Amino acid sequence: MKKVIFTSGSWDIINEGHINLLQGAKKLGNELIIDISTNKLIKSYKFINPIMTLKERMKIVKSLKFVDKVIIQRDFFDIKQLSKYNIYAIVLGSDWKNKPFPALTNAIKQLKCKMIYLPYTQSTSSSNIKKRIITQAVEILEAQNIRKNV
């Protein structure tokens, strides 16, 4: 029997936490479908555009061996889009647990699927990676200039 697991996100600057979530999600079923948010949707809740384009993010996520299908998320948990996949469970990181998310609650109810939270990887996040890049920006730019002049 096919057991479809679904998760969604921005997938901007893929990091160890993303990999942990996707590997854990894949172990829960035999097909893993990933929803990748459009830039417009990301901007609506993070108030900033992603670093990587949608096309870049899709190519990277599609290339991961434990991902079976990638779809575009224009709205949170679009029931019309998701209902055709017979989803067994929606999986998110535990950082989303206990956060009010009406679209998620509605999706679980309408899709009649389970909700599973996997442990959030505390040691890394895309936000922390972005902060490290900002902190090292001058050093990065200087290194690029040195290489150009060599």
Give the pLDDT confidence score for residue 148 in this predicted structure: 66
What does the pLDDT average to over 128-150?
79
Give the pLDDT confidence score for residue 138 in this predicted structure: 85
- How many domains does the chain fold into? 1
- Residue 66 tokens, joined: 């434990």
- Structural domain includes residue 140: no
Q: What's the pTM value of the predicted model, to 2 decimals?
A: 0.87
We report the CATH number of the domain holding residue 112 as 3.40.50.620
- Structural domain includes residue 53: yes
Q: In 10 A of CB 53, how many CB atoms?
A: 12
| 87: containing domain | 4-121
- AA letter at 68: D
pLDDT per position as a tens digit, 39-70: 999 999 999 999 999 999 999 999 999 999 99
- Structural domain includes residue 147: no
Give the pLDDT confidence score for residue 40 in this predicted structure: 97
Give the pLDDT confidence score for residue 121 in this predicted structure: 86
Give the pLDDT confidence score for residue 133 in this predicted structure: 83
- Structural domain includes residue 133: no
Dump strand ranges (E) for 58-108. Answer: 69-73, 87-93
- Structural domain includes residue 10: yes
- Structural domain includes residue 106: yes
